[in-house]
Amino acid sequence: NIKESPDYERIVSKRHFKRLMGLLEGQKVAYGGESDESTRFIAPTILTDVNPDARIMQEEIFGPILPIITVKGVEEAIQFINQREKPLALYVFSDSNKVIDKMIAETSSGGVTANDVIMHFSVPNLPFGGVGNSGMGAYHGRFGFDTFSHLRACLIRNFKMEAVNSIRYPPNSQKKVDWAKFFVLKRFSMWKFGLVALAVLGIVAAIVIKVVLF
């Protein structure tokens, strides 16, 4: 008798109890459904033949109610998920790694657990958080530190390169534009530039050796 169990919790307040009972109105109960307003008790409840547009499918439930939507296959399940807001968590139950990988690759959610529920939240080294409508950012370990910290960009330069920086200052000229394209827009091959630089250094080294030895 789950109602008598000391381990089964009650709904947090009468307001939320009435909200949950409102979600059950007009739904087909396949299992459970018992309730007691005086103690805010709602039994674990499974709903079937649920209309995807029903109110219970439009908001977070936060209660012991599980609506079941029947789909014909994986493709229809993916389509159903992607037509709605991105969930906080996605739980996939399958013996096929291909199915699991496909669900992960073709949907978006805050986190994923395969063949279990909630357990990704219990792993301290995995980020936990939503995406889009289910929240932004993540916490746990370093992920929480980064989320609640400001990553401050700092660029410090000195005046030794001011001659090069002069191409940024007016008056403008085509020559400056060409140099800007070369350095800023990177319209040159670094590999070829490196070969040219290596060749120049080789010539300089040869001249130095010749002067010193001869």
Using CA atoms, how far apart are residues 177 and 70, in angstroms rounded to an integer? Answer: 62
The size of the chain, in residues, is: 214
pLDDT in tens, 111-123: 999 999 999 999 9
pLDDT in tens, 36-72: 999 999 999 999 999 999 999 998 899 999 999 999 9
Element (H, E) at 79: helix 74-82
Report CA torsion sign: 81, 82, 84, 89. Answer: positive
Rounding to the nearest 10 degrees, give the CA dihedral for residues 142, 147, 148, 152. 100
Confidence (pLDDT) at 5: 92
pLDDT in tens, 150-202: 888 998 888 877 777 777 788 888 887 887 777 666 655 555 566 666 667 77
Q: Indicate the DSSP class of residue 98.
A: H
Q: Which residues pair with 47 in a beta bridge?
A: 29, 67
Residue among 69, 21, 12, 19 at smallest CA distance from 45? 21
pLDDT score of 206 more than 80: no
* Helices 97-106 + 74-82 axis angle, to 10: 20
Report CA torsion sign: 178, 180, 183, 186. Answer: negative
What share of the chain in percent tops pLDDT 90?
A: 59
Confidence (pLDDT) at 212: 58
Confidence (pLDDT) at 116: 96
**DSSP string covering 117-183:** SSHHHH-TTS-B---GGG-S--BSHHHHHHHTS---------GGGHHHHGGGSSSP-HHHHHHHHHH
Confidence (pLDDT) at 92: 97
According to CATH, the topology of domain 2-140 is Aldehyde Dehydrogenase; Chain A, domain 2 (3.40.309)
pLDDT score of 211 more than 70: no
Using CA atoms, how far apart are residues 105 and 118, in angstroms rounded to an integer? Answer: 20
For 143, the token pair is 């992920």
Residue among 177, 156, 159, 155 at smallest CA distance from 167? 177
Confidence (pLDDT) at 194: 63
**DSSP string covering 22-62:** HHHTT-EEEE---EETTTTEE--EEEES--TTSGGGTS---
Residue among 108, 106, 46, 113 at smallest CA distance from 74? 106
pLDDT in tens, 69-109: 999 999 999 999 999 999 999 999 999 999 999 999 999 99
Q: Is 103 exposed, middle or buried (0-12, 13-18, 19+ CB in 10 A)?
A: buried
